[in-house]
Amino acid sequence: MSFSLKIEKISKIFTIFTAVIAGVVFSGCLAKNAPKLSYYELGYDDSNSVNICDRRADTLVNLAYIKVQNGYENRDIIIKDGINIDKLQDAKYISSPKDMLQKALILYLNSNCHLKLSSDAKLQMGLNITEISIWPDYAFIEIVLEIKDDNRVLSNEIISIKENYKSKPIDALNLALNKALQKIHSSVLEYR
């Protein structure tokens, strides 16, 4: 290999290296000017739970599915005003509503008595989030609860919770979720 070919290769490598470094520096400048995202998680706070349960009296239930309606399967926080639908700017959920509901339900059932999740239980529970949104003066959650036993539908119930707020809509959404979890718990317990 001649000396001029070696110089040419070194020159190309140096040009590529310089372009990569410039790209990294430039992308850092762009990221500096990007709006800061806030992340929120909805869930059940079990820090105040002091229930002592007789686990022998538990009803076993299988969480067969959790579904979400179109528009709620991503991490966007939906805001509604009449027929206008938008997403909260510069804010997202930390995970999908489906995942947050599943985590919150597991924590809730572990912290409360008489109902325990089991994959081989005959009693089946299905949840479908039809709405989880923030309105101008309230937060709203709607979940369809289906309870089955041996492939026979025992109950279909729509759980709708509206929670007013003055300053923090995410806190109201958390309160609404906790009330929905209480309603799910009591509804399933009716089929002991």
Distance CA 126, CA 148 (A): 8
Q: Model's pTM, two decimal places? A: 0.79
pLDDT, one tens digit per residue, over 139-163 is 999 999 999 998 899 999 999 999 9
- Label residue 33 by pLDDT band (50, 70, 90): low
Residue 159 pairs in a beta bridge with 143
Mean pLDDT of 20-38: 69
Identify the pLDDT of residue 14.
66
Q: Comparing 22-31, 99-108, 130-139, 151-160, which segment has the lowest mean pLDDT?
A: 22-31
C-alpha to C-alpha distance for 177 and 174, rounded to whole angstroms: 5
CA gap 165, 180 in Å, rounded: 17
CA nearest to 123, candidates 145, 102, 152? 152
Nearest to 76 by CA among 22, 133, 4: 133
pLDDT of residue 50: 67
How many angstroms separate the most distant Cα atoms in the chain? 87
Stronger pLDDT, 6 or 169, i.e. the higher one: 169
The pLDDT value given to residue 1: 55
What residue has token string 């959404």?
Answer: 173
Strand ranges inside 45-151, DSSP E:
59-68, 76-81, 84-93, 115-117, 123-134, 138-149
- Position 40 confidence tier, pLDDT thresholds 50, 70, 90: very high
Q: What is the average pLDDT value for the chain, to the nearest integer?
A: 87
Residue 171 per-residue DSSP state: H
Instruction: Identify the pLDDT of residue 74.
Output: 93
Share of the chain above pLDDT 70, in %: 82
Least confident among 40-49, 102-111, 117-126: 40-49
